Chains A and B, each alone.
Chain A
Amino acid sequence: NAGVMQNPRHLVRRRGQEARLRCSPMKGHSHVYWYRQLPEEGLKFMVYLQKENIIDESGMPKERFSAEFPKEGPSILRIQQVVRGDSAAYFCASSPRHREASSGNTIYFGEGSWLTVV
């Protein structure tokens, strides 16, 4: 059973370009979460999605950032007009149905996508 798959693992973008990060959840998982980790810091929640729905985007910056989880295909975190401060590791995680998740089941993290803005 493959784990949470993220790509690309490393991405370099120039200031002003767009970055697209992809996440395929574990098989059977319908909930996806994106977290950002700045250098030397812990992870910070960005957004929680189910298929075709954004459930909680309270951690998303108001501008330039968007996320989607379409009916088919991976979840995408999109960062437009990147700036140096966007350089970070972006982690995706997935979990099974909410009823199981709310009982305290683990969420599973991918290996992360490291974005460097030059």
Chain B
Amino acid sequence: SQQGEEDPQALSIQEGENATMNCSYKTSINNLQWYRQNSGRGLVHLILIRSNEREKHSGRLRVTLDTSKKSSSLLITASRAADTASYFCATATIQGAQKLVFGQGTRLTINP
């Protein structure tokens, strides 16, 4: 079964607003990563959070991880039109550290 599941599947907000995407997973993980994918393009790595970390920041991105609830969230603050993309969470287990399991993704649309 799919490990990561993003919520919501699609999100449309106005430029300047904050966007929050959630990811749930089923098994114990070594780390969780968030990726961005523009339409027809490859994946761009955004941020990695390890299982012993609770929160991580990178520029306008803030990621949280709650291993007790097996969930993570990605917050994009002060959104821009260029943030329009699909966002995927991906988990890696200790046994298969680089065998990432991706969720279905959240399609984020930033309206100018």
Contacts and interface: CB of A to CB of B under 8 A. Distances in A.
A33 B43 contact: no
19 contacts: A33-B98, A41-B104, A41-B105, A42-B102, A43-B43, A45-B101, A48-B99, A91-B43, A95-B98, A104-B48, A106-B33, A107-B98, A109-B42, A109-B45, A110-B42, A111-B42, A112-B41, A112-B42, A114-B40
A31 interface: yes
A98 B98 CA distance: 9
Interface of B: 2, 4, 30-31, 33, 35, 40-45, 48, 50, 88, 90, 92, 96-105
A106 B45 contact: yes
Interface of A: 31, 33, 35, 41-45, 48, 56, 91, 95, 98, 101-102, 104, 106-112, 114
A94 to B, nearest CB: 10
B39 to A, nearest CB: 11
A57 to B, nearest CB: 11
Given A91-B42, A109-B42, A31 B98 contact: yes
B30 A104 contact: yes
A102 B97 contact: yes
4 nearest interchain CB pairs?
A42-B102, A111-B42, A102-B97, A109-B43
B42 A104 contact: no
A22 to B, nearest CB: 15
Given A48-B98, A95-B98, A106-B48, A42 B105 contact: yes
A92 B50 CA distance: 23
Among B4, B45, B98, the most chain A Cβ lie within 10 Å of the Cβ of: B98
